[in-house]
Amino acid sequence: MASFRVAYLAGVNMNDAKPQVADVGATRQATVNNLSGQALSLDECSVESAQAETLITHLSALGTVHGEQIESQASVFGVLSAQSVEMRSSAAGAMQADRATVSHSAVGTILSKEVQTQGNSFIGLLIARQVDGAVRPLLDLRGVLFLGLVIGLVLSLATRKQNATPHLKP
């Protein structure tokens, strides 16, 4: 496994198959397949997979991220998992965190103990113990129960009608 200690990398393209490891690093305008370290700061970077205790991103795109504390500004994530996440003007497909703060961001799915929303944020599916801030769910508990009832009724009628159709013998 390649290892390096960096203070700053500029315009670096690290597309080899080996994961890159950094104790403390700041990366600017780079493309990296796998990156791991204790404290990482990414600015205008593309990372396929990252793992860090502390990760700070700005104008970056990341596929899969695991960490203790993640802060993002104008960044995009596929899937992220952390103890604490703070997103500002960012987007994520799915997020799992103990504590999440979403400000002017969009997230497809959040699974968290505590979620705080600020500004105009969009969350497709939110599963949390405690939610603070303005959240307008697409479906609440009553909506989900009603949707289940309607789907069950339609399937029941469709099955009955199909079984009631007489079979013609040639």
Among 50, 49, 55, smallest CA distance to 24 is for: 55
Q: What angle do CA 88, 46, 115 make, to 5 degrees?
A: 30
Contact 98/83 with Cβ under 8 angstroms?
A: yes
Q: 20 near 6, Cβ under 8 Å?
A: no
Least confident of 10-24, 91-105, 136-150, 152-166: 10-24
The CA distance from 98 to 112, in Å, is 5
Tell me what pLDDT residue 17 has. Answer: 32
Quick one: pLDDT band at residue 8, thresholds 50, 70, 90?
A: very low
Domain boundaries in the chain?
9-138
Q: Does the pTM of the predicted model rise above 0.85?
A: no
Question: Rounded to an integer, what distance in angstroms lies between the CA atom of residue 12 and that of residue 152?
Answer: 56
Q: Which of 11-20, 21-30, 79-88 has the lowest mean pLDDT?
A: 11-20
In this prediction, residue 136 has a pLDDT band, given cuts at 50, 70 and 90, of confident
pLDDT at 56: 93
Per the listing, tokens 């703070």 go with: 86
Give the pLDDT confidence score for residue 45 in this predicted structure. 87
Rounded mean pLDDT, 140-153: 88
- pLDDT on residue 166: 62
Task: Write the pLDDT tens digit of every residue in 56-93.
Answer: 999 999 999 999 999 999 999 999 999 999 999 999 99
End-to-end Cα spacing for the chain:
71
84-123 confidence digits (pLDDT tens): 999 999 999 999 999 999 999 999 999 999 999 999 899 9
